[in-house]
Amino acid sequence: MIVEIGHYALVLALVLALAGGTLPFWGALRGDNRLMAVASTTSVAQFLFVAMSFAALTYAYVVSDFSVQNVVENSHSLKPLLYKISGVWGNHEGSMLLWVLILVLFGALVAVFSENLPLKLKALVLSVQSWISAAFLFFILIASNPFLRLDPAPLQGRDLNPLLQDVGLAIHPPLLYLGYVGCSISFAFAIAALIDGRIDAAWARWVRPWTLTAWCFLTLGIAMGSYWAYYELGWGGWWFWDPVENASFMPWLAATALLHSAIVMEKREALKIWTILLAILTFSLSLLGTFLVRSGVLTSVHAFATDPTRGIFILCILCVFIGGAFSLFAARAGQLSQGGLFAPISREGALVLNNLLLTAACATVLVGTLYPLALEALTGEKISVGAPFFDMTFGPMMVPLLIAVPFGPLLAWKRGDIVAAGQRLLFAFGAAMAVVILGLALMGTPSALALFGVALAVWLMVGALSEIAFRIKLGRVSPAESWRRGAGLPRSAWGTMVAHFGVGVTVLGIVGSTAWNSETIVTLKPGEAVTIGSRTLTMDGFVPISGGTYTGTGVRFTVRQGGNVVATMEPEKRLYTVPNTPTTEAAINTFGFSQLYVSLGDISADGSTVVRVYWKTLIALIWLGALVMTAGGMLSLSDRRLRVGAPKPARRPVAVPAE
Amino acid sequence: MTRKQRRLTLISLAGVVLASAVGLVLFALSDGITFFTSPSDVLAKPPSVDQRVRLGGLVERGSIVKEADGVVRFAVTDGKATVPARYVGILPDLFREGQGVVAEGKVDGSGLFVADTVLAKHDETYMPKEVVDALKKSGEWRPQDGDGPAPQTVQR
């Protein structure tokens, strides 16, 4: 019964989305306030009904209702509760429902928390949002219904893929979707502005918090996915330039560019058309990502059951929204008024450079992702575009960007003084040089690329700090005065500093783990030991393990450094009973920011085991940097500027976790 | 600077960035990509020793030999032709005889495929699309053998 209620709620949500997409839109065109006011109600109601539907599906999973086909295919009654719940979005149908839930959640948040938005703009924004949700609700009901029943119902489910039974995977999709789908808000604002034919600084001020929120979640989601791949797949790699990773990375690059260009628009009313274009582009890339991942065009760990009608359906949605948006853009962009003037060397100029490099880098990733598909479709030739391609294209595009990052915040609006900015960065430059000299002295002849990378990371980190040091006049006035100035700085300035510092941290992690990574493969018997760097791992013996749906063997290692025991590690080989799948669980131990990583190969009958040990220098910084960037984004989000003029204190978007 | 000059500066900056991006992509496309081949292709027209290729097929039954310290020898077959391969490392959990596999690496002078990456299925019911295509090409495609392109249910 509850399952049918969930299905019915979804149908009602579709009807509401159709109403919410047409009535307020009609009202906005005719200037009818009553019709426009409908938008808020339908948006909130859509959210309530989709939430009800999602709750019904979750309920079916929690009580293991095996009369529902979706539950049978992805759950098992012995599975821990957490994975029963995460199983809801561990499959095609459920993940699309989560996608729509988050979409209507954002619509409802706009409806509730944007009371000072002009009624017409709000009505248009919410109509656009309703069109998107109508399209995807229709898709779910027609081609991907999670509420289909099975008769007769089997006694047991087929269980979720063991690789997905993991805490990281339980929260990765919701985070990523909050980011992906959050981009729909800036898209809706862009379309609304194009329809309205009016755009000003206030528009950018409304759009920025939503973009920033989406960006924060996207950053967290990507970092989480990368960390999962690192510890779960057992290869010790953390980024594979897999098309599906790229699908989430492209919207991130575009959203990063959008964040920066929206600043220019908000402060200087310049780059209007470009910002609109970026907003459209960002969501288009999100949709493209959804298509690539969910349609089965790509074979990857993410592709679910492939049903051609689904792929074509999503492709149609993609074409209508992207094509429609770009046609509208082509027709209306010329009518938007030109913005303020600025010299090439200025804050605006620096942000333009940021945008150029980010979008160009995004384009290289797009080419690398789509080229194999296009080539196969056209010539039938199969190729794979992997890390070498991206190292050669994406890497060189990032280097000038990263060098330029510390300059940006130090340049004045309109016309900047690059010499003065350079002087303020002398300390950062000195620090970077000191690291190079220290590296040469300590390590003899390390690779030039590695030294450059570390210097770049130091330059970014110290450069970010230098900007704040300059603004609070650190060392030039009394510490108390600096403190007072620091407290008086807008939160967004601190946010910029923290986020840019985070970029440096991530770069340091990438360089460290790439340049000073050591690994070894040995066959060990209990009692034998292997040495990696200054640490020795002794294999103590086997430990039987068992969990709800698996049994297996753990191998206990004692890690010694200079004769002292510093850690014990226990990688595992598991055998899941349903479906009958073996998996390997790597053991990871963190020393400072570096990690020791142990993975198991075959265990022979005589107890000799193939063991792969990695030492990854500073690797934890990669994800730590992403956390720091997110913290910067959140700090910026709490800036009072984004709340000024709000009738209620709660205007800033609040992220509500998905149910 | 006049408005025109400013605009010109911006446009030329955009031009430089765009041109370098295009240049890098073209350069990388000629060098940084890997072609997919089947065992029949490798025997008919061996790739040069410094060319990276992806080899897809089935792991030949009875061909897996595990040597010391993670060295594994196996053979990849598409039914028509068989290529011996060598890999050092930990094989994926679902690497099994008679099952689909994609190996990435180079063919050395003696015709041995030296793999640096081995990819197997992600779960019980999935076979890499490239392997299915290669088997179809050689006429050895038998989905009823329990290794068909059935739905794959993995997500990350």
pLDDT for A303 equals: 46
Task: Tell me the count of A-B CB pairs closer than 8 A.
Answer: 172
Whether B27 and B47 share a structural domain:
no
Same domain for A448 and A468? yes
- Nearest CB among B28, B154, B156 relative to A389 is that of B28
For B23, how many CA atoms within 13 A lie in the half-sphere containing its CB? 8
User: What's the rounded Cα separation, in Å, for the pair A106 and A100?
Assistant: 10
Q: Which residues contact A185 (CB under 8 A, 6 or more apart)?
A: A106, A110, A125, A129, A207, A210, A211, A214
What is the phi/psi pair of residue A542, to 5°? -100, 145
- Interval B51-83: pLDDT, tens: 888 888 888 888 888 887 778 899 998 888 899
Shared domain check, B45 and B81: yes
Any domain includes B70: yes
Write out A518-574 in H/E/C secondary structure.
Answer: EEEEEEECCCCEEEECCEEEEEEEEEEEECCCEEEEEEEEEEEECCEEEEEECCEEE
Residues B50 and B109 in one domain: yes
Query: What pLDDT shows up at residue A440?
Result: 83
Contacts of A299 in chain B (CB under 8 A): 128-130, 152
User: Of B6, B88, B152, which is closest to A341 when you measure between CB atoms?
Assistant: B6
How far apart are the C-alpha atoms of A165 and A162, rounded to whole Å? 5
Do A530 and A598 share a domain, yes or no?
Answer: yes
Q: Which pLDDT score is estimated for A537?
A: 93
**What is the number of structural domains in chain B?**
2
Q: Are A182 and A218 in contact (CB under 8 A)?
A: yes
A471 shares a domain with A451: yes
Q: Check whether residue B4 and residue B75 sit in a common domain.
A: no
Residue B17: which of A91, A360, A521 has the nearest Cβ?
A: A360
Residue A229 and residue B27: Cβ atoms within 8 Å?
no
Q: Show residues of chain B in contact with A396, CB under 8 Å.
A: 20, 24
Q: Is A69 on the interface with B (CB under 8 A)?
A: no
Interchain contact A154–B (C-beta under 8 A): no
CB neighbours of residue A228 within 10 Å: 20
Same domain, A509 and A560: no
**B138, B40 contact by CB (below 8 A):** yes
Distance CA A221, CA A174 (A): 8
Is there a domain that residue A427 lies in? yes
Contact A397 B24 (CB under 8 A): yes
Cα separation, A165 vs A295, in Å, equals 23
Q: Is the CB of residue A636 less than 8 Å away from at least one CB of chain B?
A: no
The predicted pLDDT at position A445 comes to 64
Indicate which CATH number applies to the domain containing B64.
Answer: 2.40.50.140
- What total number of domains does chain A contain? 2
Judge: B29–A160 Cβ closer than 8 Å, yes or no.
no
State the pLDDT at residue A633. 95
Q: What are the helix (H) ranges across A295-417?
A: 308-332, 347-379, 387-404
Please tell me the predicted confidence (pLDDT) of residue B8: 85
Of all residues in chain B, the one with the smallest CA distance to A598 is B90
Q: What is the pLDDT of residue A606?
A: 83
On whether residue B150 sits in a domain, the answer given is: no
B114 shares a domain with B66: yes
Residue A318 lies in a domain: no
- Shared domain check, A482 and A524: no
Residue A255 confidence (pLDDT)? 96
Q: A601 vs B91: CB contact, 8 Å cut-off?
A: yes
Give the H/E segment covering residue A585.
Answer: strand A581-585
Q: Is A356 on the interface with B (CB under 8 A)?
A: yes
Q: Is residue A160 part of a domain?
A: no
Same domain, yes or no: B47 and B121: yes
In a domain, residue B102? The reply is: yes
Beta bridge partners of A531: A536
Residue A269, domain member (yes or no): no
CA distances to A23, A284, B37 from A373, rounded to whole Å, are 41, 18, 16
Say yes or no: B94 and B122 in one domain. yes
Rounded-to-integer distance, Cα A65 and Cα A174, Å = 23
Q: Would residue B115 count as lying in a domain?
A: yes
Query: Does one domain contain both A504 and A524?
Result: no
Mean pLDDT per 10-residue segment, chain A (659 residues): 93 96 93 91 96 96 91 86 88 91 95 86 94 95 90 79 76 90 94 88 88 95 91 81 88 95 87 91 92 67 58 86 93 77 84 93 92 84 84 92 92 85 89 88 77 94 92 85 88 93 96 89 90 91 86 92 91 82 88 92 84 92 96 89 46 45
Looking at beta carbons, which residues of chain A come within 8 Å of B154? Answer: 161, 163-164, 301-304
Same domain, B17 and B62: no
Residues of chain A in contact with residue B34, where contact means CB-CB under 8 angstroms, are: 383-386
Could you tell me if residue A382 is inside a domain?
no
pLDDT category at B38 given cuts 50, 70, 90 is confident
Are both A571 and A598 inside the same structural domain? yes
- Judge whether B153 and B123 are in contact, CB under 8 Å: yes
On whether both A573 and A532 belong to a single domain, the answer is yes
Q: Determine whether the interchain pair A303/B152 forms a contact, defined as Cβ–Cβ distance below 8 Å.
A: yes
- The answer to whether position B83 is within a domain reads yes
Query: Do residue B57 and residue B12 come from a single domain?
Result: no
Tell me which DSSP letter residue A409 carries. Answer: G
Amino acid at site A80 = P
Q: Do A383 and B68 touch (CB under 8 A)?
A: no
CB A511 within 8 A of CB A621: no
Q: Do B124 and A306 touch (CB under 8 A)?
A: no
Both B62 and B123 in one domain: the answer is yes
A507 and A420 in one domain? Answer: yes
A600 touches chain B (CB under 8 A): yes
Rg (CA), chain B: 22
* Within-domain flag for A444: yes
The answer on A510 and A556 residing in a single domain is no
Of A231, A265, A226, the closest CA to residue A242 belongs to A226
Residue ranges making up the domain that contains B18: 1-32
Instruction: Give A163's contacts in chain B (Cβ within 8 Å).
Output: 122-123, 154, 156
Residue A568 structural domain: 517-616
Q: Is A161 helix (H, G, I), strand (E, B) or coil?
A: coil
Question: Domain check: are A410 and A488 in the same one?
Answer: yes
Q: For chain B, say whether A481 makes contact (Cβ under 8 Å).
A: no
In a domain? residue A195 = no
B83 with B52, same domain: the answer is: yes
The answer to whether residue A478 is domain-embedded is yes
CB contact under 8 A, A581 and B90: no
Residue A601 contacts B where some CB pair is shorter than 8 Å: yes
How far apart are alpha carbons A330 and A456 in whole angstroms?
40
pLDDT at B121: 58
Q: Are residues B3 and B40 in the same domain?
A: no
Hey, are the CB atoms on B90 and A610 less than 8 Å from each other? yes
pLDDT tens per residue across span B98-144: 878 888 889 988 889 999 888 765 544 455 566 666 667 666 665 54
Q: How far is B109 from chain A (nearest CA, A)?
A: 23
Task: Compute and round to an integer the Cα radius of gyration of chain A.
Answer: 26
**Which pLDDT score is estimated for A296?**
63
Statement to judge: residues A529 and A447 lie in one domain: no
